[in-house]
Amino acid sequence: MKTRTAVLYAAGEPIRVEEIELDPPKEHEVLVRIVAAGICHSDHHVVTGEMPTYLPMALGHEGAGIIEAVGPQVMNCKPGDHVVLSFVPSCGKCRYCLSGHSNLCNKGSSSTLGPQLDGTFRMHSGETNIGQFCLLSSFSEFTVVPDISVVVVDKEYPLNRAVLASCAVPTGVGAVIHRAKVTPGSTVMVIGCGGVGVNIIQGAKLAGARMIIAVDIHDFKLEMAKELGATHVINAREQNPVRVAKGLTDGFGVDYAFEAISTPETIGQAAAATGKNGIIVIVGLTDAKVTSMPIPPMLFVLSQKTIMGTIYGDSQPQKDIPALLALYKDGKLKLDELVTRTYTLDQVNEAYNDTLQGRTIRGVIEFK
Ligand SMILES: [Zn+2]
Ligand SMILES: [Zn+2]
């Protein structure tokens, strides 16, 4: 069949929205009609070349839609089911899935970047095979994905909100709950209040943190941070975040610092803002060319600090995506407020420009 898809042909070029050929689903694959796709910064690391990968690549890894058809052997979903896409498949059999870290599933680590799991391509433009980012390509009217990359969700959830449970929400909330395991009464700092950062704030509130310090350079994002649970906000253009955080904690420094921007400078700030026994969590993707961080190793001994990274917030998509949506239903997790602007597929480059300019918390592409 034909479908309209956003494809990147070369790093540094604009994303092209074009009609391509989509093969039917093979064994253990499903055809999904995408209803909504989130504008996550991670795709842009492919656009700039900061994350080298197979090209041409059909982008988009945050998505929600409706199953149109299933290939042979598919047992976990059926046509008509509403699904949220997971940017890491969960095979349920590898050592990571079996040890409770399906976010690190072996099927995802090496194969997310290009062809489908059997090594062949479903998307084509003439003779050219088009890769599927994270096996998904949610910036497409229709896509074919592995059955282990979809999470069936209750039809009561609007898909243009549930889409945020595909990446931003589990990445942020999970970083707090599953990875850092923030304890009630803790002090927390969050650097970067975009789509992931605001969900770190929501996670810290759910975990019972007594102080949540939000840092950004855009005042409207800091306003949203307050609305979602931040107790203090710092505009890093006007104040030094490390100094203010130390002052707010009587000189001790925060217990946990989450870094959702991931430049060496902001990672250094996160480390400097934590106190003794502090935990620094790197959540955002850095440029692949960055190989060092300005953190004195001595601090790890003298102050017994811990630095950790996390992908997908150490969440288990099959279990956690429905759980997060249930929290949304209960009013304990906000999603509606996070969608700053909606776009058509043809506006995908404009949507990324808005993200880069800091004009949105989360942009969402809606398909008619
Ligand atoms: Zn993402
Ligand atoms: Zn696995």
Domain boundaries, the chain: 2-166+335-366, 171-311
Burial track 91-109 (b if 16+ CB lie within 10 A, e otherwise):
beebebbeeebbbbbebbe
> Rounded to the nearest whole angstrom, what is the distance from the C-alpha of residue 285 to the centroid of ligand 1?
10
CATH code for the structural domain at 171-311 = 3.40.50.720
Instruction: In whole angstroms, give the CA distance from residue 169 to residue 38.
Output: 11
193-251: per-residue pLDDT in tens? 999 999 999 999 999 999 999 999 999 999 999 999 999 999 999 999 999 999 999 99
Instruction: In whole angstroms, give the CA distance from residue 28 to residue 144.
Output: 10
Q: Quote the pTM value.
A: 0.96
What is the 3-state secondary structure of 317-368?
HHHHHHHHHHHHHCCCCCCHHHEEEEECHHHHHHHHHHHHCCCCCEEEEECC
Mean pLDDT, residues 40-55 taken together: 91
Q: Which of 28, 41, 45, 82 is catalytic?
A: 45
279-298: per-residue pLDDT in tens? 999 998 888 888 998 888 88
> Rounded to the nearest whole angstrom, what is the distance from the C-alpha of residue 183 to the centroid of ligand 1?
26
* pLDDT, position 61: 96
How many residues in total does the chain contain?
Answer: 368
Mean pLDDT, residues 174-199 taken together: 97
Return the ligand number nearest the Cα of 110: 2
> Rounded to the nearest whole angstrom, what is the distance from the C-alpha of residue 108 to the centroid of ligand 2?
8
Q: How crowded is residue 211: how many other Cβ atoms within 10 Å of its Cβ?
A: 18
Give which of 215, 280, 222 is closest to 248, Cα–Cα.
215
Asked if pLDDT for residue 112 goes beyond 80, the answer is no
Return the ligand number nearest the Cα of 117: 2
* Spatial contact of 22 and 122, defined as CB atoms under 8 Å apart: yes
> Rounded to the nearest whole angstrom, what is the distance from the C-alpha of residue 60 to the centroid of ligand 1?
8
The architecture (CATH level 2) of 2-166+335-366 comes to Alpha-Beta Complex (3.90)
Asked if pLDDT for residue 35 goes beyond 80, the answer is yes
* pLDDT, position 159: 98
Instruction: In whole angstroms, give the CA distance from residue 174 to residue 154.
Output: 21
Residues 6+ apart with CB under 8 A from 294: 264, 265, 267, 268
* pLDDT, position 111: 45
Q: Which helix (H) or strand (E) holds 87?
A: none
Mean pLDDT, residues 107-120 taken together: 82
> Rounded to the nearest whole angstrom, what is the distance from the C-alpha of residue 101 to the centroid of ligand 2?
8
* pLDDT, position 260: 96
Cα 139 off chain centre by: 15
* pLDDT, position 368: 81
Residue type at 297? P
The neighbourhood of ligand 1, an ion, using CB within 5 A, equals: 40, 42, 167
Q: What is the mean pLDDT of the chain?
A: 96
Q: How crowded is residue 356: how many other Cβ atoms within 10 Å of its Cβ?
A: 13
Q: Which of 41, 61, 178, 218 is catalytic?
A: 61
Percentage of the chain surpassing pLDDT 90? 91
> Rounded to the nearest whole angstrom, what is the distance from the C-alpha of residue 15 to the centroid of ligand 1?
17
Q: Which two tokens stand for residue 270?
A: 């996160």
Return the ligand number nearest the Cα of 109: 2
Residue 42 annotated among the catalytic residues of the structure: yes
Residue 178 annotated among the catalytic residues of the structure: no
Residue 45 annotated among the catalytic residues of the structure: yes
> Rounded to the nearest whole angstrom, what is the distance from the C-alpha of residue 146 to the centroid of ligand 2?
13
Cα 345 off chain centre by: 19
* Spatial contact of 213 and 205, defined as CB atoms under 8 Å apart: no
Give which of 245, 247, 259, 243 is closest to 293, Cα–Cα.
259
Return the ligand number nearest the Cα of 51: 1
